[in-house]
A and B are shown apart, each in its own frame.
Chain A
């Protein structure tokens, strides 16, 4: 079983739709959870950062972490064509968990159609 699983898509939605992106993981030591957006031939751009369980909202983006189910989500409201990109989930156990390295999902390619 991979440490982090992410459906690669591709996912295609009409403009204005609500997008739901998800990752599951197997390592119970993970406690830092991030979502990155990556445009083609660019570096990953940090969208959301969450520590432990719970929800976090930033504008049109909401991140949810359910540690009991080892499941994280990113919701995008009122999606725009400019949201078209690959979305990467990433997580880490941190220094207290024994490892600082980020473990990434493979990424979900999202296209928002005008």
Chain B
């Protein structure tokens, strides 16, 4: 887990504010995934990215959520105009070559919307 770095670990936002969550994959990994874990729920897939490309965003809510993985720097999950229902743990994961290889998760970013 230590290889995938997420920050911030905890984030409190008021309704209507923006939340930005960052993820640095393990060294050498070029595939990044974002998952969301709601209280008492399982992990739900949000988006799968490679450098500068969104490969699969079928799990992303249609509005307010966006993700990027630029050529340089961490992957960013951005939530605009947060609502209470966005309160959750957001996990980033990375792999060397998709799920044909092992996928490792970070420690998560806990978002609380007040």
Interface residues of A (CB under 8 A from B): 6, 32, 34, 36, 41-46, 49, 88, 90, 92, 94-95, 99-107
Contacts and interface: CB of A to CB of B under 8 A. Distances in A.
Contact of A88 (B43, B99, B108): B43
The 5 closest A-B pairs by CB, nearest first: A92-B99, A106-B42, A101-B45, A43-B105, A104-B43
Interface of B: 1, 4, 6, 31, 33, 35, 41-45, 48, 55-56, 58-59, 91, 93, 98-100, 102-108, 110
A84 B93 CA distance: 23
Contact of A36 (B4, B41, B99, B105): B105
Given A95-B99, A101-B99, 18 more contacts: A32-B100, A36-B105, A42-B1, A43-B4, A43-B106, A45-B1, A46-B103, A49-B102, A88-B42, A88-B43, A90-B43, A99-B56, A100-B98, A101-B33, A101-B45, A101-B48, A101-B59, A107-B42
A104 B35 CA distance: 10
Nearest to B47: A101
B101 to A, nearest CB: 9
Contacts of B42: 6, 88, 104-107
